[in-house]
Structure 1
Amino acid sequence: MLKMMCPILSSNSHCTAKGMLFPHSTCLVALLHSQSSNPIKSHLPSKPKVEDALKMFDEMLHSRPLPSVIPFNRILTQLVKLKQFPAVLSLNSQMGLRGIVPDSYTLNIVINCYSRLNRMGYALSVLGHCFKLGLQPTVATFNTRVADAERVFNKMVEGGHCQPDVFTFSTLIKGFCMIGNNTGAIQLLRNMEENGCEPNIVSYTTIIDSLGKYALFDQAKNLFSEMIGRGIAPSLITYNCLIQGACNKGHWKEVWRLLNEMIQRGIEPNTITYNSLMDGHCLQGEMDKAKQVFDLMLSKGISVDIHSCNTLINGYCKSKKIDKAYKIFKEMPLRGLVPDTITYNTLVDGFCKAGRLQEAEKLLCEMEASGQLPNVQTYTVILDALCSNQQLSKANELLREMKDKNLELDIVIYNIFIEALFKAGEIESAMKVFSGLSSKVVQPDVVTYNTTIKGLCIGGLLDEAEKLFREMGERGCSADGSTYNTFIRGLLNNNEASRATRLIPVMHKMGFSVGASIMELIVDFLSKDKVDPVLLACPKDSV
């Protein structure tokens, strides 16, 4: 579909950073080779799949030019599935020695292997080194590994096997913050003192930043005060984190107080500080004030960066002021700035939501011509626009194009397409897509189930909807309040009041409330000449 709109580049890209994944590569290579003079052969059983993977890896490693890290990651992933963890680490070491730059997927693989081998010390070292490189592990990595890391770490400390330093603690704190476990991060901060390790500015700033992102500004403020009380002077980064948290909550008195305080300490606000102010005003829909901050930056000679423009463009698009957003976009080259993928995606989304598809199409062509690769987000925006306009054949073509380019389709993309199919009355096609998810890496989430249950109910297929409602928990996806409301509404709309009322007490027991639309339906049922006795018997407090 994008090929029809304008020629789009066919290769996928991943953000990478220079440097090897191992902070102490020599030690790690020695560790791997200490197990055998040939670690690969010693750890790999003679299985055709393993041999094929090794052969392919060797051919790729000696090919010129060298392939990107992506095909190497696929081979490492295959070997992980075969439980060849030491071999994967050895192969990854060879990649580093050949100058193959790792990405976040490589990071996940390496941490996973060290964790499986119970070498959490090495996993933590890799993790800390990757933070320095700017590589960001996925949430999945942390959800499955940080708790293990803490467990092994505690055993090491309790057994007297090691004396953790501030770097080790800070790495774990960073991990907890990245998965949103701020309570765990603060507990680690307290554990530092108990183990005779003084927290530093990095330890505090990391948690303050995380608390601000999760709208826990009061806690962030208290931790900031505690830090100062310990004689640790806040840095520009610390102030920026706290100011961003205050902006997110719209606490402008605190923002101005912090700004004055940092200036009194001799710390001058920088581009990031002003970007936070703009972002805060944009979140509140105060676009005139956001633009004033932008103009103030220019008048003060403070560098306006790509994030400054993207923040303002996004704010204008969210406020449905697409022309003003486009004006900022056109002015970027005059300021020496090159629009990035985020810039284009935001504007394309803005044009699509405004119903200006031709201008979105034109911008896509500009994007390709500028050398910016469309990513999954770009395709998601276009897919959503096509589905909203019921252009399902083009949407299906777009999905095929994404698969051809080896882009990783996430559940958001499938949810958009499944909903569009149901709205078009193509129930069979929608269920085919839904059923096909089981054969893919991506798993249906609660939105997928809610959308499918709603579509089945609208189509009058109540038994199929109920079966899915009952099975979703067994498939690892718990029903939420929306699930119950969706199914109950579907039953009532199909004159199945008895089945609906049986679900209401269960819904309340699960801690969910009945929606206003269901209340209206029940009132409508009660106003009819003939009312289902079960509905009359339903206790008032249950609805």
Structure 2
Amino acid sequence: MLLRRIVPVDYTLNIIINCYCHLNQMGFSLSVFGTFFKLGLQPNVITFSTLINGFVLKNQVPEAARVFSKMVEAGHCKPNVVTFNTLIKGFCTIGNKSAAIRLLGKMEENGCKPNIVSYNTIIDCLCKDTLIDEAFNLLSQLISRGIAPNIVTYSTLIDGVCKLGQWKQATRLLDEMSSKGIFPNLLTFNVLVDTFCKEGMVVEAKSVVQIMIQRHIEPDTVTYSSLMDGYCLRGEMHEARQVFDLMISKGSTVTVRSCNILINGYCKAKKVDKAHKIFKEMRRMEIVPNTITYNTLIDGLFKAGRLQEAEKLLSEMLGCGQLPNLRTYTVIVDGLCNNRQLSTAIELLKEMEANKVELNIVVYNLVIEGLCKAGKIESARDLFCVLSSKGVRPDVRTYTIMIQGLCHHGLIIEAEKLLREMGGEGCSPDGCTYNIIIRGLLNNCETSWAMKLIQEMLERGFSADASTMELIVDLLSKDIVDPALLQLLKDS
């Protein structure tokens, strides 16, 4: 355009900025933004809103907030409802609910009235964090301001209350919707089906599907996938497969997520061959397996003790261009440790560290536990001691694993020392930690010492588990334990 001496207008430049934003090329977007000033043009509200949206899409919300602040400071271009809603969405995306609510309050201060999208975005964020009371407060606020809640508002709230098991509240919301002439759509029904299935209430989920069909709302891929997930959670794989076949027969789009749900279900049910069959069917249906698919199947093969097949599938994964993620490495390390391939797991850990892979405490916990189980307590202790130098903080699981390993090797003084260190490291022991060390003490004939820790455990609000109670009852039969303490354990 410039070569032909055609000067672009703001409308043209805004289109180019928008294109670059959707391509995650924010550097180029800002370059085009600079062109406004070179050409003597004034950026408008669309320009700023587009840039803010670009940074939000790239998950660079602080940058989006800076652009917004500069826009407000400049004064010549006031943000509109789209600008505010875009930044509200950004804050909600990163979980900064307080900033989103503050921004909602500033809208009218800037002469911009919030709309239903403004409220729905924050209500959705609150519901996802199960902050239902705050979500209902916003609902009351939007109604008092004369904004009518819509199907998205109610679907979001129904999802939120269902996640908390508040079924009566969900029914009340459905009735309230109907009284306002807002009828449940596919989104609403899918929310109900998914929630029921996650709670293992597949019968209730099927009833919702029947109501959908009666209202001439056709179940879609999301509906069928939720049903499959529900059956898989219950271990009812025959029924899950029937839903999968029904989805295909109904012409619904079979997605990689649908296949992953079924593969995961079969692997959890220790039916790896059937999981592998679904994996092969994906190719026939021209569905490309993703990292989740490979991770799930590799994990299933390791758990079935089929190491060579797991390694072969990993090679296939790499050959198909699917890069392993942290979950992949966690699955492999876990599989190797559980299949007595500890040296290979340690070699892999060193290789990952050398390649600067950002490892979390979960991976290290697996190796430390593997070392403890293999009787290599010194090596486990050495790895535990260097965690901080690797930039990884031990968690309660790390300490519990080490305490169990030390107790197993009769190093009970060191085990209790580690228990006492936990509080100072900002990682308080939980019920599992106490039960582990109490059993360790009892197994090492340190009964009086164990009794003191039992008292401490109860005072902290934790209970003895079945394994600990079994040991205590056994000691009671030998008149070693005070019956009053046993009663106290039962009462707790």
Could you say which TM-score interval applies, normalised by the shorter chain?
A: 0.7 to 0.9
2 CA distance for matches of 1:428 and 1:180? 44
Distance 1:471 1:113, change over 3 A: farther
1 CA distance for matches of 2:255 and 2:56? 27
**1:114 positional shift:** 9.8
Q: Cα deviation per residue 1:111-166 (whole Å; 9 max; x = unaligned)?
A: 8989999x9x99974351588xxxxx5xxx53xx324544x358758989875432
Counterpart pick for 1:237 among 182, 187, 192: 187
**Residue type matched to 1:128 in 2?**
K
2 CA distance for matches of 1:473 and 1:154? 40
Q: Cα deviation per residue 1:198-233 (whole Å; 9 max; x = unaligned)?
A: 322222222333444555555444433333333222
Conserved in 2, the CA contact under 8 Å of 1:146 and 1:176? yes
1 CA distance for matches of 2:253 and 2:116? 34
Q: Cα deviation per residue 1:420-462 (whole Å; 9 max; x = unaligned)?
A: 1211222232233323333455433222222122122223232
**Aligned pair 1:398/2:359, yes or no?**
no
Counterpart pick for 1:126 among 69, 77, 87: 87
**1:506 positional shift:** 2.5
In the other structure, the counterpart of 1:444 is: 394
Structure 1 unaligned blocks of 5 or more: 1-16, 34-92, 132-136
**1:367 positional shift:** 1.0
Distance 1:506 1:153, change over 3 A: farther
**Aligned pair 1:249/2:199, yes or no?**
yes
Q: What root-mean-square deviation, in Å, do the aligned CA atoms of Structure 1 and Structure 2 show?
A: 3.6
**1:334 positional shift:** 1.0
2 CA distance for matches of 1:441 and 1:114? 34
**1:383 positional shift:** 0.4
2 CA distance for matches of 1:166 and 1:341? 37
**Aligned pair 1:265/2:269, yes or no?**
no
1 CA distance for matches of 2:55 and 2:132? 35
Structure 2 SS opposite 1:473: helix
In the other structure, the counterpart of 1:476 is: 426
2 CA distance for matches of 1:513 and 1:474? 23
Q: Cα deviation per residue 1:160-193 (whole Å; 9 max; x = unaligned)?
A: 9875432232222232233343443334333333
1 CA distance for matches of 2:129 and 2:351? 33
Bigger relative CO (Cα 8 Å, ≥ 6 apart): 1
In the other structure, the counterpart of 2:6 is: none
In the other structure, the counterpart of 2:22 is: 18
**1:195 positional shift:** 4.2
**Aligned pair 1:541/2:482, yes or no?**
no
1 CA distance for matches of 2:226 and 2:208? 13
Conserved in 1, the CA contact under 8 Å of 2:91 and 2:99? no
In the other structure, the counterpart of 2:118 is: 168
In the other structure, the counterpart of 2:294 is: 344
Conserved in 1, the CA contact under 8 Å of 2:406 and 2:414? yes
In the other structure, the counterpart of 1:199 is: 149
In the other structure, the counterpart of 2:226 is: 276
2 CA distance for matches of 1:216 and 1:353? 37
Conserved in 2, the CA contact under 8 Å of 1:217 and 1:249? no
Counterpart pick for 2:305 among 334, 355, 358: 355
**1:315 positional shift:** 1.0
TM-score by length of 1: 0.71
In the other structure, the counterpart of 1:367 is: 317
What are the within-5 Å matches in structure 2 for residues 177-188 of structure 1? 177-188=127-138
TM-score by length of 2: 0.78
2 CA distance for matches of 1:116 and 1:440? 39
What are the within-5 Å matches in structure 2 for residues 44-443 of structure 1? 103-104=58-59, 106-107=60-61, 110=63, 125-126=86-87, 128=89, 137=93, 141-142=94-95, 145-147=96-98, 149-150=100-101, 152=102, 156=106, 163-213=113-163, 217-443=167-393
Percent sequence identity is 49
In the other structure, the counterpart of 1:486 is: 436
Moved more, 367-376 or 454-463: 454-463
Conserved in 2, the CA contact under 8 Å of 1:236 and 1:267? yes
Distance 1:201 1:474, change over 3 A: farther
Conserved in 2, the CA contact under 8 Å of 1:217 and 1:245? no
1 CA distance for matches of 2:67 and 2:477? 65
**Residue type matched to 2:432 in 1?**
S
Distance 1:331 1:466, change over 3 A: same
2 CA distance for matches of 1:521 and 1:260? 51
Conserved in 2, the CA contact under 8 Å of 1:111 and 1:123? no
Distance 1:537 1:317, change over 3 A: closer
**1:289 positional shift:** 0.9
1 CA distance for matches of 2:421 and 2:69? 32
Bigger Rg over Cα: 2
2 CA distance for matches of 1:248 and 1:218? 18
2 CA distance for matches of 1:541 and 1:116? 63
Conserved in 1, the CA contact under 8 Å of 2:104 and 2:114? no
2 CA distance for matches of 1:393 and 1:273? 45
Structure 2 SS opposite 1:297: helix
Moved more, 426-435 or 481-490: 426-435
**1:237 positional shift:** 1.5
**Residue type matched to 2:125 in 1?**
G
**1:101 positional shift:** 10
1 CA distance for matches of 2:287 and 2:132? 36
2 CA distance for matches of 1:478 and 1:130? 32
Conserved in 1, the CA contact under 8 Å of 2:202 and 2:231? no
2 CA distance for matches of 1:442 and 1:196? 51
**1:361 positional shift:** 1.0
Conserved in 2, the CA contact under 8 Å of 1:422 and 1:430? yes
Conserved in 2, the CA contact under 8 Å of 1:124 and 1:149? no
Counterpart pick for 1:511 among 461, 473, 476: 461
Distance 1:269 1:342, change over 3 A: same
Conserved in 1, the CA contact under 8 Å of 2:120 and 2:153? yes
1 CA distance for matches of 2:122 and 2:286? 39
Structure 2 unaligned blocks of 5 or more: 1-20, 38-47, 73-78
